[in-house]
Amino acid sequence: METLARSVTLEMDLRLEAAAISEMAGNIAEDTDFRVPTVDWTRTAKGVLTLEWIDATPLSDRAALQAKGYDLPRLGRTLMQSFLRHALRDGFFHADLHPGNLFVDADGRLIAVDFGIMGRLGPKERRFLAEILYGFLTRNYRRTAQVHFEAGYVPTRHSVESFAQALRAIGEPIHSRTAADISMARTLTLLFEVTSLFDMQTRPELLLLQKTMVVVEGVARSLDPKLDMWRTSDPVVRDWVERHLGPAGRIEDMVRGAGEIGKALAAVPSLIVRAADLADQFAALSPETLLTAPRPGGDAEARRTRTMIVVLWALVVGLGVVMLWRL
């Protein structure tokens, strides 16, 4: 209820919707098969959203699409891959992709409107989603189970092997069915049902993703009833996994780690100076002063000073240990 209330509140301010459109436009600037309208900021306010005029065919008008010679199966693949790309690559996706919100322009590009409901996935959730889908694609159920534990979604009191067995019960039927019978959305639904047995807490961002995937899959299948969802998603998921979990991704993680260490080291001199100042102040107080001239709060202040010195030096030592470990 709290999530729904917040979502409705955000939807009522059309400036925020305009900002979502602008953010997505920046994310997909180099994409050639999916675009969003341009915002007219001078005519947009809290209660008014003004966009460029869209000259396109509604995706819901199948007869018109066929009459104009559009490749419907290609549009289905584009929709599915674009949604996954936005979720995995950008961590920011349109969460209301029903046919009424989608159009096709003269160049065959999909255009989305109505950005009142948007979904966000952090780095941890994106990795979780990619590895889950990749695990099912490659039938690596143990790795898929481990991802749940690494992400902290399943408590460590449970067994990885038992959870992998449960995931196998979901994944194996996929590989024994035809493309038309395989549903990615249904697979995620079963996944969340199983994870609840292992005490995985409800995560609103993942449920919004699941809900959107159900809609996207339905729209894509309406364009191509034989669309193989798993084969369609494979290039996007595999590219993300290779990019972020392969050698290039590890190098980027090392660079980011080095940057964080650099920031921490930059703060060390000021910490040392501060610790030295506190030590000098504490040393200036004679034992007689501490024992015979107490003042209100004096003992507490002295204890805080000593504690601060210990904490600061512990930080310095800790940073040194981290540096040595990194090297």
Angstrom distance (rounded) from CA 62 to CA 174: 29
Contact criterion met (CB below 8 Å) for 306 and 281: no
State the residue for tokens 């299948």: 221
Q: Ramachandran region of residue 68, left (φ > 0), alpha (ψ -120 to 50) or beta?
A: alpha
Identify the three-state secondary structure at position 35: strand
Angstrom distance (rounded) from CA 118 to CA 21: 10
The pair of three-digit structure tokens given for residue 266, joined into one six-digit string: 């930059």
State the residue for tokens 């339905």: 218
Angstrom distance (rounded) from CA 72 to CA 183: 19
Identify the three-state secondary structure at position 102: strand
| Number of Cβ within a 10 Å radius of residue 294 | 11
Name residues whose C-beta falls within 8 Å of residue 191's C-beta, 6 or more positions apart in sequence.
132, 167, 170
Beta bridge partners of 154: none
- Residue 96 falls in the annotated catalytic set: yes
Q: List strand residue ranges (DSSP E) for 113-254, in order.
A: 118-120
Let me know how long the chain is.
327
The pair of three-digit structure tokens given for residue 152, joined into one six-digit string: 């902290």
Identify the three-state secondary structure at position 104: strand
The pair of three-digit structure tokens given for residue 59, joined into one six-digit string: 């995706």
- Among 13, 61, 90, 96, the active-site one is 96
CA-closest candidate to residue 193, choices 183, 207, 180, 205 = 207
Name residues whose C-beta falls within 8 Å of residue 133's C-beta, 6 or more positions apart in sequence.
184, 233, 237
Task: List active site positions.
Answer: 96
